[in-house]
Each structure stands twice: as structure tokens, then as C-alpha cells.
Amino acid sequence: MQSFSLSKISSSFLKFLTREDKGVVAVIFAIVLLPILAFSGAMVDYSAVSSARSEMQVAVDVAALAAVKADKNDDEEMQEIAENVFTDNLVNAAFANNIELVATRLEDGVRVDVTTSINTSFLRLIGISSLQVSVYSEVVDSLLGIEVVMVLDNTFSMNGEKMDGLKTAADLLVTELFSGADNDNIRVGLVPFTQAVNIGTSNRDEPGIDIPDDFSVPQADSCRWTYPNSTRSCERERVSYDCVVDGVETTCQRWRYFNCTGDRGERVWVCSARSDYRFRWYGSMGSRDYPLNVTDESYDTDPVPGLMTRWNLYWATRPLTRLTSDEDTIRSAISRMRTAQNNHSYTYIPVGLIWGWRLLSNAEPFTDAAPYGDANKKVMVILTDGANTRSIGIGGYQWMLNQGARPSNVDSWHYGDDVDDANEKTEELCGNIRGDNIIVYTIAFDVDDSDIEEILQNCAGNGGSYYDADNSSELEAAFEDIADSLRKLRISK
């Protein structure tokens, strides 16, 4: 195909103009300029029409979803519902003139046709003042049920603007999912994760999990050297130093003592009785032994262990939200998400994946989900902002032995540092989840680790997609695209 350079044409044309009489130049310039402007303007007008058509298609899809719920014997009600919902979802209504909407009852559903005209800005120069746009949507009576679980990274590295952007984008997805839909056919769950998942203390007695009663362990006497006659005193101040938390370079603090005066005197060995260690369950869950930690089965014989601790190590990790059709419930859960600022807010993606899978499964430990089948679409949306920074085990954190870890259950904890093992578990879980015909969408949010990006790309499947979002705007666009994809699942044509 022959190609033309607009810059070369313009250059040659200008040279020609300089050699001709002024009158001839003006005439020729006018003749040539008009089609060039018309062509350029046409591109602007057609771009506006394309944007309008896309927006109208979304609005007509939602209108058809709403109209299908109308009384089957009342066509006027169906028409009114379709018109109102279409108008409510048309953001840029100013571009349309004389919108004509017709809702038609079909044998097995509803069809909504919309026709309008879009005013042109440049094509009117050549006599085309408007362009016609037509869209339609058909929805069957028996809408597919959709269950969506969002598995969202709440680790330290998500702190600040990233968490704010995540909340906005996740809330946007909920808005789109419930817009114009029968809430009984839409259910959404939420799994915030760090290196553990909190399932909520209200679920303590659910089948398939093993939560012992709270218990106490006697402590040995506390013995230490003391200086009862000390006259020593020091000034102190809080100083900052560079440290790394969840793979993020940040600032930590410690005390610095200085200008010490006086004498400590003679030291004395003193022992005192200590109160018992009290271990409680605060909602956080550990992992089963491999391969049960990457499968959704055998909970009756191998339940999921709860983590019994002296302190609520994961105090900032919000409990998961089981599948619900209550839009306000899931919105509230999203708004309450927060990140921890301590050593218990690292990343272990497998624990988020397995609990997302458990929410979508109708087997133990939660049986809220619908059975697997063609009438129910199950969807998992996975977001992380970085690589795995924890694995199973306690690694070098021997102090965990005083927090509830025991030599017999250290693999239930997620304080290890074997990143390769964590990545392997992530990949295996993704494959098993897709094997249950769950639609998987994955989002890398401001990620600069090529290994986890590749894992997330390979994890998406069964009609789901992978998104690489570098900022909050791109994250919102990703969630909007997911919402649009899920809406189309429910529409026959």
C-alpha cells in the first residue's frame, strides 16, 4: 500500500504558494484546505460517536437487566423501568438528541433498543450535522447468578494513597455489579489478606476449622539482675533509622540513651512470680499441611487450624466478609479495610487465595455459595502490590514460640522466608482454582517484581484477564473493565 507524508505534502504545497500570484494562491489554498479540515474534523466527530456508543451500550445493558424483572403482564411498567434506568446510567446525556428507547417483551426475556443522533462539530462543514447511533441489549428471564470474591492485599506496602485508591476502585466494582440487577442473583465477598487471613471470631464454631478453647500456660519465675541502690539516670530520645517492612524501605524508631550520670551500685539477682500466659483466638487462621494447603477438600478429617496467640498479632487485618447480596454490607467492609504498621503485615498471597476459594465453594468451612454449575458463575478478583515476602514456618522468628507456635505446628504459621516456596504455592493454587471453573481476574498494582507479575498473568483465566495498574486511575479502569465483563456474562446478546 502506498503511504503519504502529510508533512512532506504541506512543505511542497507551501513552496508552490510562494511562487504563484496572490489571487491564485488564495483560491487554491481554500480549495485544498477545506477537505483537509473536514477529514481531520471527521476523525474528531467519529471518535465522539464511538465514545457515546460505548457509554450507551453500558446504559442499555443495565436497563435491560432491570426491565427483565418487571411484571410480565405490564409492558408499560417494563418500558418505564427501562427508560429510567437508562437515563440514570447515561453519564453524558448532553451529547444525545431525541433519544428513542423501546423495550420489547420476548418469549424468554426482554430486548431494549435505543436510537439517537449525535451532533457533529466538524462534519457540519460538509453538510453532515448529526450522526445516528443505535444500540440494543437482550436479556433472558433466567439471569445467571454471579458470585464474586475480591481477594485484596492489605499489607504494609499498601499503606496511604494506595489503600485509598483500592477502596475507591473496589467500591466502584460493587456499584457496577449491583446497578440495575436483582440483588438475589448477585453476591459478593471480601478477603483482606496480609500474611494471614482473619475469618472473624463469630465463625469460631463453623465446621472444617479447628479452634481450641482459650487456655493458659504457667510461666516460670522471672529472674533478672537488678540494681536496687542505683543512682544512675539518663536522658533519652526517640531516633529514626532506615529499615525494610514488607519489601518496602521505610523508617523505624528506637530509643537512644545519653548523658548518663551516677552509679549503678551493686547488682542483685531477683526472681518474681509471673502470671500465666493466656492464649486466645483472635480470628486469624493458619495453613494445613501440604498438599491440603492448596486444595479445597478433606476438611472433616483435616480442619484448618486457628492461630492461638498471646497477643492479637494481626489486629489491623479486618475479618473477611462472607458472600452477601447486601450492597451496604460489602461497601462497609471495603471502607473499613486498613493496613498494619508492624512486623505482622507482610505478604503471603496463598492464604488470600485459599480463603477466597473457600468463600466460593459450597463445601466446608463455609457453605453460603451456590453449587458449581452452568447457572452460577463464580469469580475471583485478586489484587496485590508486590511479591510474596513470607512463607510457611517461623523462619528466624524464634520468639514466635512464645506467641503460640510449637515445634509440632510451625508450618501452620506464615513467618518463613522461603519466597520460592510461597511462589510455588501461589501458582499451584491458581491452577487448582481455575480447575474448578472459577473465572479469575488478577491485578498487579504498582508492582515492579517481574516474577510476581508473571505469576499473576498466568493465574488469570477461564475468561478472566490480567491487569497491570501503575496508579489509582489505571486501577479504577481495571475494576470498571471487570465490571463490564461481568455484566456481559448475564446478557444473552
The whole-number pLDDT of residue 429 equals 98
Tell me the C-alpha distance between 348 and 200, whole Å: 19
Cα separations in angstroms, 482 against 148, 301, 402, 466? 11, 37, 44, 10
Q: Is 466 within 8 Å of 457 (Cβ atoms)?
A: yes
Q: Where are the domains of the chain?
A: 6-140, 145-214+284-489, 222-272
Give the number of other Cβ atoms within 10 Å of residue 443's Cβ.
27
The owner of cell 433519544 is 99
Q: Helices 349-360 & 419-435, crossing angle to 10 degrees?
A: 20
Tell me the C-alpha distance between 443 and 482, whole Å: 11
The whole-number pLDDT of residue 7 equals 42
Tell me the C-alpha distance between 320 and 33, whole Å: 63
The whole-number pLDDT of residue 22 equals 52
The owner of cell 449525535 is 118
The pTM of this model reads 0.75
CATH number attached to the domain at 145-214+284-489: 3.40.50.410
The whole-number pLDDT of residue 453 equals 97
Tell me the C-alpha distance between 291 and 33, whole Å: 72
Q: Is 157 within 8 Å of 347 (Cβ atoms)?
A: yes
The whole-number pLDDT of residue 61 equals 87
HEC secondary structure over 56-112:
HHHHHHHHHHHHCCCCCCCHHHHHHHHHHHHHHCCCCHHHEEEEEEEEEEECCEEEE
Tell me the C-alpha distance between 193 and 340, whole Å: 11
Task: Dig out the grid coordinates for 37 from the structure.
Answer: 479540515
Give the number of other Cβ atoms within 10 Å of residue 125's Cβ.
15
Give the number of other Cβ atoms within 10 Å of residue 483's Cβ.
19
pLDDT in tens, the chain (493 residues): 444 344 444 454 445 445 555 555 555 555 555 565 556 667 787 887 888 888 888 888 888 888 877 766 788 888 998 898 888 887 665 555 688 999 998 877 889 999 988 888 777 777 888 888 889 888 876 667 899 999 999 999 999 999 999 999 999 999 988 886 566 789 999 999 999 999 999 999 999 999 999 999 888 888 999 999 999 999 999 999 988 887 888 888 899 999 999 998 999 999 998 888 899 999 999 999 999 999 999 999 999 999 999 988 888 799 999 999 999 999 999 999 999 766 678 999 999 999 999 999 999 999 999 999 877 899 999 999 999 999 999 998 888 888 888 888 999 999 999 999 999 999 999 999 999 999 999 999 999 999 999 999 999 999 999 999 999 999 999 999 999 898 888 775 5
Positive or negative, the CA dihedral 339, 345, 351, 355 is: negative
Tell me the pairing of strands 96-106 and 248-261: unpaired
The whole-number pLDDT of residue 142 equals 63
Tell me the C-alpha distance between 385 and 445, whole Å: 5
Tell me the C-alpha distance between 467 and 452, whole Å: 13
DSSP letter (8 states) at residue 354: H
